[in-house]
């Protein structure tokens, strides 16, 4: 009798609870290398897959099938132990957000409970799915399909908007942009995201910005401005789910040299040169999402003290306005940081914001907005609010002509 009961329990377990978990990554931005999958404890351990020469292995994003609603599973994330560049191995912290991000419909993303870090640097997240399949990611994803949807949405809303093809990547993919406003408008602005593919929050901030820019509130700003907006620069690495940062021989953000490797960087340089030569460029803002801390800050110019009066005035005005308008979900730091870890003039000159500074005028503002990611506040909506704040700061900034002596 006991034997029969045991058999019954075994049959019951195998029949009902043990659908096998399956990891799927064959979609835009998908990345996960399965280290182990223990069906008895329902524990999946993974690490970001290394894409040789394509930068930091930090981003992960996958679909998990074979779940039982209500049954707890454990997701463990460890660092990729192979070097991404020469002998450099990426620290675990970059692939271990405090919270994993979950979606059961691929659209709405919510943070998990905070994970716990073991002494041997494995982050464990306890998850109780409510559906048989889940998408899980390092942070709320933003892939070319999202960019496409966003640009279509903006183009449909604003008849004066013109979508354009910035370039075709080395991988043959299109880098899309949108221009809003008359070509010869009094003010010219260039805003873009994802020189670093893994910094998905940069595009999330960009989406918040461009939606605000297309809103009624921005009508007066639109009337006097020609904006160029690029939601994703490093499309190839975003599609592959590769980090991009510190790619070999250099990443997109360090490719703003005389002879860029990436066609999309070369195309942006050509367009910015032309815009500045014809009309003058007022502002260049590059959106990043780098730090494992949760702060939001701007990288400003090197050697601020050596700048001329109009430059200092404009950078100071920008910072004051940014600090009063970028306040939620966290306030932006009210002082510029300086990327002092970049030590040579040569490298500083081929960072995107540095190149723009060197190729434009005294009145041109060129900054990067660096939004932290490691916080449950950095939801799609949280990032979006930062983008809207950025738009309001821009409106007020252009309200007083930055070109006036
Ligand atoms: Zn970056």
Nearest alpha-carbon partner for 164 in 148, 151, 176: 176
The mean pLDDT of 377-385, rounded to a whole number, is 97
Residue 318 has pLDDT above 50, yes or no: yes
Q: What is the pLDDT of residue 3?
A: 52
The band of 291, judged by pLDDT with boundaries at 50, 70 and 90, is: confident
Q: Convert the pLDDT of each residue in 86-131 to its tens digit.
A: 999 999 999 999 999 999 998 899 999 999 999 999 999 999 999 9
Ligand 1 midpoint to CA 283 (Å): 19
Please answer whether residues 245 and 196 qualify as being in contact, where contact means their C-beta atoms are separated by less than 8 angstroms: yes
Ligand 1 midpoint to CA 280 (Å): 26
- 187 and 130 within one domain: no
Within a domain: 184: yes
Ligand 1 midpoint to CA 217 (Å): 29
Q: What is the pLDDT of residue 308?
A: 82
Whole-number CA gyration radius for the chain: 23
- Look up the CATH number of the domain holding residue 79: 2.60.40.3120
- 213 and 321 within one domain: yes
Residue 280 has pLDDT above 50, yes or no: yes
Please answer whether residues 211 and 384 qualify as being in contact, where contact means their C-beta atoms are separated by less than 8 angstroms: yes
- Look up the CATH number of the domain holding residue 345: 3.40.630.10
How are beta strands 365-371 and 283-288 bridged, if at all?
parallel
Ligand 1 midpoint to CA 160 (Å): 31
Q: What is the pLDDT of residue 10?
A: 46
Ligand 1 midpoint to CA 244 (Å): 9
Q: What is the pLDDT of residue 339?
A: 87
Ligand 1 midpoint to CA 192 (Å): 12
- 379 and 262 within one domain: yes
Spatial distance between the Cα atoms of 260 and 276, rounded to a whole number of angstroms = 19
Residue 304 has pLDDT above 80, yes or no: no
Q: Which residues make Cβ contacts (< 8 Å) with residue 312, sequence separation at least 6?
A: 304
Q: Which of 137, 160, 182 is the last residue of a domain?
A: 137
Higher pLDDT pick, 10 / 104: 104
Within a domain: 404: no
Q: What angle do CA 23, 27, 28 make, to 5 degrees?
A: 130
Q: Which residues make Cβ contacts (< 8 Å) with residue 381, sequence separation at least 6?
A: none
Q: What is the pLDDT of residue 178?
A: 98
Within a domain: 3: no
Cα dist from 358 to 15, 107, 273, 307, whole Å: 67, 40, 11, 12
Within a domain: 294: yes
Nearest alpha-carbon partner for 79 in 89, 68, 64, 66: 89
Spatial distance between the Cα atoms of 329 and 236, rounded to a whole number of angstroms = 31
Please answer whether residues 391 and 209 qualify as being in contact, where contact means their C-beta atoms are separated by less than 8 angstroms: yes
Q: What is the pLDDT of residue 19?
A: 84
Spatial distance between the Cα atoms of 207 and 107, rounded to a whole number of angstroms = 14
Ligand 1 midpoint to CA 288 (Å): 5
- 179 and 33 within one domain: no
- 32 and 160 within one domain: no
Range name among 12-26, 245-259, 381-395 with the lowest pLDDT average: 12-26
The band of 9, judged by pLDDT with boundaries at 50, 70 and 90, is: very low
Ligand 1 midpoint to CA 267 (Å): 20
Alpha helices, H only, 214-262:
219-223, 235-240
Query: Could you tell me the residue range of the domain that residue 322 belongs to?
Result: 144-399
Cα dist from 359 to 280, 324, 325, whole Å: 11, 29, 28
Within a domain: 198: yes
Ligand 1 midpoint to CA 195 (Å): 6
Cα dist from 205 to 45, 231, 332, 378, whole Å: 30, 10, 13, 10
Ligand 1 midpoint to CA 324 (Å): 24
The mean pLDDT of 14-18, rounded to a whole number, is 51
Q: Convert the pLDDT of each residue in 221-279 to its tens digit.
A: 999 999 999 999 999 999 999 999 999 999 999 999 999 999 999 999 999 999 999 99
Within a domain: 352: yes
Ligand 1 midpoint to CA 293 (Å): 14
- 219 and 133 within one domain: no
Ligand 1 midpoint to CA 382 (Å): 19
Q: What is the pLDDT of residue 8?
A: 47
Spatial distance between the Cα atoms of 294 and 402, rounded to a whole number of angstroms = 31
Q: Which of 86, 114, 137 is the last residue of a domain?
A: 137
Q: What is the pLDDT of residue 12?
A: 47
Characterise 53 by phi-psi region: left (phi > 0), alpha (psi -120 to 50), beta (else).
left
Ligand 1 midpoint to CA 375 (Å): 17
Cα dist from 144 to 199, 203, 204, 241, 393, whole Å: 14, 10, 12, 12, 27
- 177 and 69 within one domain: no
Ligand 1 midpoint to CA 17 (Å): 43
Which segments of 257-312 are extended strands (E)?
283-288, 296-299
Ligand 1 midpoint to CA 399 (Å): 29
- Sheet arrangement for strand 33-38: 33-38, 43-47, 73-77, 123-127, 116-117
Q: What angle do CA 57, 59, 62 make, to 5 degrees?
A: 120
> Which DSSP category does 216 fall into?
G
Please tell me the chain's helix, strand, coil percentages from 3-state DSSP, rounded to the nearest 5: 35, 20, 45
Spatial distance between the Cα atoms of 312 and 289, rounded to a whole number of angstroms = 26
- 164 and 33 within one domain: no
- 162 and 297 within one domain: yes
- 219 and 86 within one domain: no
- 63 and 153 within one domain: no
Structural domains in the chain (count): 2
Residue 340 has pLDDT above 50, yes or no: yes
Ligand 1 midpoint to CA 377 (Å): 20
- 191 and 87 within one domain: no
| pTM for the model | 0.95
Q: What is the pLDDT of residue 159?
A: 94
Ligand 1 midpoint to CA 289 (Å): 6
Ligand 1 midpoint to CA 65 (Å): 32
Percent of the chain whose pLDDT exceeds 70:
96
Ligand 1 midpoint to CA 16 (Å): 46
Is the peptide bond prior to 329 cis by the omega test (within 30 degrees of 0)?
yes
Residue 393 has pLDDT above 60, yes or no: yes
Residue 154 has pLDDT above 80, yes or no: yes
Q: Convert the pLDDT of each residue in 194-223 to its tens digit.
A: 999 999 999 999 999 999 999 999 999 999
> Which DSSP category does 154 fall into?
H
Q: Which residue has the tokens 């080395």?
A: 170
Within a domain: 96: yes
Spatial distance between the Cα atoms of 230 and 401, rounded to a whole number of angstroms = 24
Ligand 1 midpoint to CA 170 (Å): 20
Mean pLDDT of the chain: 94
Within a domain: 5: no
Q: Which of 137, 169, 193 is the last residue of a domain?
A: 137
Q: Convert the pLDDT of each residue in 47-86 to its tens digit.
A: 999 999 999 999 999 999 999 999 999 999 999 999 999 9
């Amino acid at each position: 009798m006991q034997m029969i009961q045991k058999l019954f329990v075994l049959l019951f377990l195998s029949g009902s609870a043990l659908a096998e978990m399956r990891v799927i990554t064959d979609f835009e931005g998908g990345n996960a290398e399965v280290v182990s999958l223990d069906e008895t404890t329902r524990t999946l351990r993974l690490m970001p897959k290394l894409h040789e020469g394509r930068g930091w292995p930090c981003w992960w994003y996958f679909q998990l099938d074979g779940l039982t609603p209500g049954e707890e599973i454990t997701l463990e994330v460890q660092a990729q132990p192979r070097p991404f560049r020469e002998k450099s191995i990426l620290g675990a912290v970059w692939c271990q957000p405090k919270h994993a991000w979950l979606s059961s419909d691929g659209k709405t993303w919510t943070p998990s409970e905070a994970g716990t870090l073991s002494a041997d640097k494995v982050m464990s997240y306890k998850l109780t799915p409510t559906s048989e399949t889940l998408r899980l990611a390092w942070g709320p994803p933003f892939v070319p399909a999202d960019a496409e949807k966003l640009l279509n949405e903006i183009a449909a809303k604003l008849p004066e908007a013109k979508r354009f093809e910035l370039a075709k990547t080395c991988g043959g993919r299109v880098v899309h942009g949108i221009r809003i406003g008359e070509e010869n408008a009094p003010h010219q602005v260039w805003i873009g995201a994802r020189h670093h593919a893994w910094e998905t929050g940069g595009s999330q901030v960009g989406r918040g910005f461009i939606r605000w820019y297309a809103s009624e509130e921005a009508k007066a700003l639109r009337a006097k401005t020609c904006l160029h907006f690029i939601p994703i620069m490093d499309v190839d690495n975003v599609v592959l789910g590769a980090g991009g940062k510190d790619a070999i021989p250099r990443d997109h953000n360090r490719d703003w040299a005389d002879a860029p490797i990436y066609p999309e960087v070369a195309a942006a340089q050509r367009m910015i040169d032309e815009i500045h030569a014809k009309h003058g460029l007022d502002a260049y803002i590059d959106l990043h999402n780098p730090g494992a801390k949760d702060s939001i800050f701007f990288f400003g110019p090197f050697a601020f003290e050596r700048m001329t009066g109009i430059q200092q005035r404009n950078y100071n005005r920008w910072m004051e306005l940014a600090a009063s308008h970028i306040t939620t979900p966290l306030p932006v730091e009210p002082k510029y940081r300086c990327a002092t870890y970049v030590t040579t003039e040569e490298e500083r000159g081929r960072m995107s914001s540095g190149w723009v500074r060197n190729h434009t005028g005294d009145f041109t503002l060129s900054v990067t907005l660096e939004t932290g990611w490691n916080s449950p506040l950095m939801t799609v909506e949280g990032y979006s609010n930062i983008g809207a704040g950025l738009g309001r700061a821009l409106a007020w900034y252009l309200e007083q002509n930055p070109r006036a002596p």
